[in-house]
Structure 1
């Protein structure tokens, strides 16, 4: 007898192994075709030179036909160890240390482009200690460390707690034969793509500490439905069989409990994002090894997400205080306090940690639920969290510079007069201050002193760096592992490609243009 909506035994396998030889580059064309080989440079006319060991002469390609070049399977020759950077008004993030600033210019020392002098009006944020704490993961520039957790069939997505709940439509009991062995998640470029319609998950032991920040960009088509796990142990215990009892048929999944989630993520917390609402669940296994899931109720769970679009989601969780907060595009969305949960006492309780927080692990995971249309996940950041509860938007002011200290609590507003000798000199409302740059997380310059942004020219490309960095400009030439760019904000840049992972030639298309339904 076929069991409806049964999740099969999980198959969690590493998605990539260490390579014995340097990975090849990958050139992806605007029409969806791609070819591997080596990026050999670019001339001033925009012609890209490509080589392959099986082709005797170099191959020229016009840059207008290229979407992106992935260097060395998105693995840098030498990743930068320090995530400090400067954010420009166009969204570029130039990695480096600010060594000087005055009313007109900001000077940074970089390992990728030497010393750069930037107009102050082109700088939006100076981040000597970004992300609120130590950076633990930035990507996904490759699939290393990620696991694909497979299942045999799709899982329904309706939630009975939602106001518009209706009985679910019948779904197939299993995937079609031609799609049975086709994973629903595919890594390409610097993103994960899900084709939807299956219950596969991707997981990563990201090393989440007690106070953690998880940030990612989500792009979606047609009403998003995605679940995000955090502080998950990614473990599944063996089911204990009871003596004298015959094997029972696995029951149909409970739409409220969603017991498939602990099978995918183990014990932890899962936030479910829908088009108009968001809700939190905790997952675990009982003493017999049976999966359990319980929804955490909160009256303020409505969110506004368009049917098609993209947004930056940020989850801030504190295992010791029992708080979980969600921000969407820099704005506060919802918060839960697990000390109000009234849940069972966890076996994993530790001294000094509230026993009502049941997230013992350090893993994260994603699953696109049910018949959800394709989604893209990119720009994932995992970092220690300094406890800052404010939204990113609250750090912006039209008329005043705002300096947030690394302790996550103190801040100063006023006018940053200068940065020199490792100190920021601030004309605050109650007097002049000198604050060590080592104690500052970020400085946000006043909006009314920033230059107005112009639309990027079609000739502009973007270079993505590992672990943090994006530098854009019109390419002038490239050879010997370097590229020269002409930036409207930063002038001429001679950039070392050793920490680069992607050259993005066509950045103006749709947010899911890279998705290939045939993958």
Structure 2
């Protein structure tokens, strides 16, 4: 099981080790313009006050013209000490520890808003020990740690065996776009316009059992390659003899050897027109990129032409399994120990397992298409080995509690939480379970309040690394903001752990893409 004190220490350590945080804020307007300076507050009429050292007087801006305020270059002023949080029915996540609950209320102790008493029917999930293990990364609130990797040459052709016969080849770039990376970070997302061989990578030090979760947004049927357990290394080029030209790898259907040049030795899941398939990439003794397909039964993911979804990859290096879930539903699982896991032209080392990816990095690439995608809400964590779909944690009539060992669970009615103990009336009798052994509690769907459409005047405050609090802004000054939430009432929120104030949250999906670079 995962002990909360251990989680807290490991969670806070990397944040506490950050260098001095720059004070610059960024104001981004709905028309795409932006200005740096300092967010100095907001009055009850919605007028934002902005200051700059080169401007003598504060500058007022109407909030309906503002899309985002990025605080301190997306760095929190102070670290939150614990990843535990409560998820409301509208998707808000309040970081804090649940200290009490009964059939009417849930009381949480937060570092950013004090003690809060929430209506129980407004709470969907309590997460005392979330993500199944130690949280490694949450973002991307900034570009730190990420690399944009570029390769010259054509992008890969579509793989006919993946069912992606309609995917176009990459068009030639316009002269004015030549040389520009296809991936650009803005706000809390990575955007790719596609049609290039760029990738973004992060050396995340993934453990043997790891969870990668992200939100993918797209404007046409998406294509995306996701690498994990990647070493992000390529061999040094060999010396060429006089007059000898470097041999370029021949791209072929299903080969996609350029993925090895981008991610090194890794596993890569390709999502093309709703068909996921898995490849392994590496370099042979001659330093040439190699790729092999890991076979499995045909499967597909039903995705709309335009939309967004939560993708989750669970990989287990010890047992050789890789599983994909989309929006909480199981999609496909590979067992690479059943596949040959061959290394072409090389003998397998004595005692070497069939999971051929020793690294800890991740990466994203949009192959062979000009479609734009957005990657956000990335979570990397240790995985406790739980194989069930997230949907299995939801019930219409019963509360479900999952323990932190990833396997044991109880269903019934959660009577109370008090003195650090959950009391549940389970199907075979009442039980008391210490909260430090509980990973998640999902309340019955028929006991939850119906979600109302968000008011156009609502804003969302994003907290690092975990947290989202929304409501109608009342006022902001001295590093705090007051919000009126339909679910939580009046909130007085400390902005020290905040990284982004999102002022345009009520628009549709395409409106959200107005901030695309």
With structure 1 as the length reference, what TM-score do the two structures score? 0.92
**Contact 1:195 1:517 (8 Å CA) reproduced:** no
| Deviation string, structure 1 residues 117-148 (Cα, Å, up to 9, x no partner) | 11111100000000111100000000000011
SS of equivalent to 1:264: helix
Q: Shift of residue 459 of structure 1? A: 1.1
Q: Shift of residue 171 of structure 1? A: 4.3
Task: Find the counterpart in structure 2 of residue 47 from structure 1.
Answer: 47
Whole-Å separation in 2 of the counterparts to 1:52 and 1:463: 23
1:394 and 1:267, CA in 2 relative to 1: closer, same or farther beyond 3 A?
same
1:115 and 1:198, CA in 2 relative to 1: closer, same or farther beyond 3 A?
same
Task: Find the counterpart in structure 2 of residue 10 from structure 1.
Answer: none
SS of equivalent to 2:261: helix
1:235 and 1:412, CA in 2 relative to 1: closer, same or farther beyond 3 A?
same
**Contact 1:212 1:384 (8 Å CA) reproduced:** yes
Task: Find the counterpart in structure 2 of residue 165 from structure 1.
Answer: 165
Q: Shift of residue 245 of structure 1? A: 9.8
SS of equivalent to 2:162: coil
Q: 1:270 aligns with which of 253, 268, 271?
A: 268
Whole-Å separation in 1 of the counterparts to 2:408 and 2:470: 34
Note if 1:80 corresponds to 2:104. Answer: no
The aligned runs of 1:336-355 (5 Å cut-off) are 336-344=334-342, 355=353
Q: 1:305 aligns with which of 303, 306, 314?
A: 303
Q: 1:209 aligns with which of 200, 207, 210?
A: 207
1:440 and 1:166, CA in 2 relative to 1: closer, same or farther beyond 3 A?
closer
Task: Find the counterpart in structure 1 of residue 56 from structure 2.
Answer: 56
Consecutive unaligned residues in structure 2, runs of 5 or more: 1-17
Whole-Å separation in 2 of the counterparts to 1:198 and 1:126: 42
Whole-Å separation in 2 of the counterparts to 1:472 and 1:178: 40
SS of equivalent to 1:69: strand
Whole-Å separation in 2 of the counterparts to 1:21 and 1:411: 42
Q: Shift of residue 515 of structure 1? A: 4.7
**Contact 1:156 1:168 (8 Å CA) reproduced:** no
Note if 1:473 corresponds to 2:471. Answer: yes
Task: Find the counterpart in structure 2 of residue 14 from structure 1.
Answer: none
SS of equivalent to 1:399: coil
Consecutive unaligned residues in structure 1, runs of 5 or more: 1-17
Task: Find the counterpart in structure 1 of residue 424 from structure 2.
Answer: 426
Task: Find the counterpart in structure 1 of residue 10 from structure 2.
Answer: none
| Deviation string, structure 1 residues 352-410 (Cα, Å, up to 9, x no partner) | 8x621011000000011122311100000000000111111110001110000000000
**Contact 2:171 2:370 (8 Å CA) reproduced:** no
Q: Shift of residue 306 of structure 1? A: 1.6
Note if 1:111 corresponds to 2:111. Answer: yes
**Which stretches of structure 1, 4 residues or more, deviate above 6 A after TM superposition?**
18-21, 242-245, 346-352
The aligned runs of 1:2-401 (5 Å cut-off) are 22-163=22-163, 165=165, 171-172=171-172, 175-240=173-238, 246-247=244-245, 249-344=247-342, 355-401=353-399
| Deviation string, structure 1 residues 332-364 (Cα, Å, up to 9, x no partner) | 011000011112269898998x62101100000
Whole-Å separation in 2 of the counterparts to 1:508 and 1:77: 28
Whole-Å separation in 2 of the counterparts to 1:203 and 1:182: 17
**Contact 1:156 1:171 (8 Å CA) reproduced:** no
SS of equivalent to 1:339: coil
Give the number of equivalent residue pairs. 499
Q: Shift of residue 156 of structure 1? A: 3.4
Whole-Å separation in 2 of the counterparts to 1:356 and 1:494: 53
SS of equivalent to 2:301: coil
SS of equivalent to 1:289: coil
Task: Find the counterpart in structure 2 of residue 5 from structure 1.
Answer: none
Q: Shift of residue 246 of structure 1? A: 3.7
SS of equivalent to 1:72: helix
SS of equivalent to 2:509: coil
Measured on the aligned residues, the alpha-carbon RMSD in Å equals 2.2
1:220 and 1:236, CA in 2 relative to 1: closer, same or farther beyond 3 A?
same
1:351 and 1:508, CA in 2 relative to 1: closer, same or farther beyond 3 A?
farther
Whole-Å separation in 2 of the counterparts to 1:178 and 1:141: 29
Q: Shift of residue 510 of structure 1? A: 3.8
1:349 and 1:428, CA in 2 relative to 1: closer, same or farther beyond 3 A?
farther
**Contact 1:422 1:436 (8 Å CA) reproduced:** yes
1:133 and 1:56, CA in 2 relative to 1: closer, same or farther beyond 3 A?
same
SS of equivalent to 1:161: helix
